[in-house]
Amino acid sequence: MLAGALSATRSAAASGLSAVASRRGWVFGSAVRLTQLQDEPALRAAVLRECAVFTPEIDLKWDAIEPAPGRWSLGNIDGLVGFASEHGKTVRGHTLLWHRSTPAWVDQRLREHRDWRLISRHFASLMPRYGDAITQWDVVNEPIETGHRMDGLRRSVFLEAFGPDYIRRALVEARTVAPRARLMLNEYSLEYDNREERDRRYLFLKLIEGLKRSGTPLDGIGLQGHLDLRKGTVATSSIAGFLKELADMGLEIVVTELDVKEADYTATPDARDRMVADEVRRYLDTVLAQRGVSGVLTWGLSDRQSWLEVLEEDYRRFPGAWTKGDGPGLNRGLPYDAGMHRKPMYRAIEAAFHGR
Ligand code: GLA
């Protein structure tokens, strides 16, 4: 693990996944909302037992903290950071710039005035405030989009307002405001060998190489790790090659949002859990074998909090599979089921951390 990486030492719980992870120098954590911790004692206990680090699921996003100009709403993130500190945990700074959590008023002002001061003010309002508690920030979330531009940059409001240089500027700005923070880019769909994900890996690497070549302060890369059984199985050798390139550039690598979208909801729950666990094991065995990897976070601990749903199209793929009144239940792509029982995915993560 790299020096100064997501700290594993201070906060490892006595038992649970973070304890297992910490033996090999990794951290384990999960996304969570303050309100979930307040409302659900069993989840709160599991989070404390399993996690060394939390990602604020929504509490730190720009539209959550400043929904209208100057109308700050920092109660939830302050509460989450306080909870973490009280229990010896750390928090990931997710996320400063993301096209999907930019409040409408910011979007409009950026399009009209192209004024970088809005970005500076945003970073300066948040980064020093959580200076000691949040040491690692996703400065830009999801900068890549295929199918539009040769450089693969997403056509976001930031690109439209400031041009392709906005990513470098954002990282430089973040370094100025928070000189000791670890600065990251966080990205999705980098795991499979379909045409789009091959392009995404290539374009993302090109972007990162350019940033490093120009001396931009970039410390690490977040791999969201939203696995998807509809896409087949993860492309282990492509992932290994991709991560080697990142590690060769001296970057820290974190799996930031691991979960699994299922493909076959007609199988028995046991079979479904096995397919999820097998895919997680394949993925983590590959990732954890690479240099530079400092930890793994899931996007929630229990299926009940998952953003992944059984979709209309999933039902359509299996016509007649469910009679009126029954159905496949929740997507089962997280370590705990809705009743807070550990599933095979939990054991897969544990075994991957053990390396056996
Ligand atoms: C993306 C974002 C996260 C979260 C998830 C799922 O991966 O980075 O913040 O919103 O989607 O909702």
- The residue to mutate among 260, 307, 308, 331, having the most atoms of ligand 1 within 8 angstroms of its beta carbon, is 307
Q: At residue 32, what is the residue type?
A: V
Query: What pLDDT is stored for residue 313 in this prediction?
Result: 93
Task: Please tell me the distance between residue 249's alpha carbon and the centre of ligand 1 in angstroms.
Answer: 26
Which two three-digit tokens encode residue 303?
Answer: 């299926």
4 has a pLDDT exceeding 80: no
Which DSSP letter does residue 62 get?
Answer: H
pLDDT per residue as tens digits for the range 313-345: 999 999 889 876 788 999 999 999 999 999 999
- The residue to mutate among 224, 227, 259, 305, having the most atoms of ligand 1 within 8 angstroms of its beta carbon, is 224
Using CB distances shorter than 6 Å, the residues near ligand 1 are 141, 188, 224, 257, 299, 307
d(CA 140, CA 157): 12
Task: Please tell me the distance between residue 164's alpha carbon and the centre of ligand 1 in angstroms.
Answer: 23
Per-position b or e across 121-157, b if 16+ CB within 10 A of its CB: ebbeebbeebeebbbbbbbbbbbbbbeeeeebbbebb
Query: What pLDDT is stored for residue 111 in this prediction?
Result: 96
Residue with tokens 């307040």: 38
Task: Please tell me the distance between residue 324's alpha carbon and the centre of ligand 1 in angstroms.
Answer: 32
Q: At residue 129, what is the residue type?
A: R
pLDDT per residue as tens digits for the range 86-123: 999 999 999 999 999 999 999 999 999 999 999 999 99
pLDDT per residue as tens digits for the range 150-160: 999 999 999 99
Closest Cα to atom 12, ligand 1: which residue? 307
Cβ proximity of 173 and 218 under 8 Å:
no
Q: What is the mean pLDDT of residues 29-33?
A: 98
277 has a pLDDT exceeding 90: yes
Cβ proximity of 119 and 173 under 8 Å:
yes
Helix (H) or strand (E) holding 287: helix 269-288
Beta strands in 174-315 (DSSP E): 182-187, 220-223, 226-228, 252-261, 293-298
